[in-house]
Amino acid sequence: MSGEKLNTEILENYKRNTARKELYKDLGYDTDKERAFIVEKARPLYGKILEVGTGKGHFTLALAKEGHPFISLDISEEEQRFAKLNLAYFGLEKLVDFRIGNAEHTGFADQSFDIIFSVNLLHHLHNPCKATDELIRILTPNGKLIISDFSKEGFRVVDKIHALEGRIHEAGKTTLADIEIYLIDKGFNIQKYKSRFQEVIIAYRKIK
């Protein structure tokens, strides 16, 4: 791809993202503020970091703006292409090592990551508990797992935007509260946070 064509794609992708952010804002949902809320609750950031569920790179960008290199994993190469364009607009693409993979079978070695993020992925997963087990497997003993999904108000806005676009926002039945209970049963301590549009749990292994 020529440099001119790439630059055009980067700009077009940025314009699409900006238009969608404005659509959310019209409904009271400040997406930048909500992503910053998740990052703030996850501090401090350290060690090897993994994002599971790149999507189009919206949270990837928020995390990259922290300046800490990390790996971002997604099952869709097409989605990650948009994510790369998203980060390239801000000159941050070199901070992120993009990988293609499945949340249920990441391919990483045991205890590979100190911090693992999963943001707005849970409701898309076919087998959330199996994916959670995989994240537990690759988390270091002193690491932390940050899982966030939309609140009821967040889902209401997302569903409305999808309807305006002529689409249906599909969501599974497993909730963040279900995963919280699952992690507690696995021996984790949980910290919970909630904004208007996002719910966040941070899971740490109990010190024996």
pLDDT in tens, 165-206: 888 888 889 999 999 999 999 999 999 999 999 999 999 987
Q: Comparing 1 with 119, which gets the higher pLDDT?
A: 119
CB hemisphere CA count around 154 (13 angstroms): 20
Q: What is the pTM of this model?
A: 0.95
Average pLDDT, the chain: 94
How distant, in Å, are the alpha carbons of 138, 183, 184, 208 from that of 131? 11, 12, 16, 25
CATH topology of domain 3-205: Rossmann fold (3.40.50)
Band (pLDDT 50/70/90 cuts) for residue 1 is low
User: Does the pLDDT of residue 48 top 90, yes or no?
Assistant: yes
CA–CA distances in Å: residue 88 to residues 5, 12, 19, 34, 203: 13, 12, 18, 22, 32
pLDDT at 73: 98
Q: Is the pLDDT of residue 50 over 60?
A: yes
21: which 2 tokens? 């952010």
Q: Is the pLDDT of residue 208 over 70?
A: no
Asked if 120 and 151 count as a contact pair (C-beta separation under 8 A), the reply is no
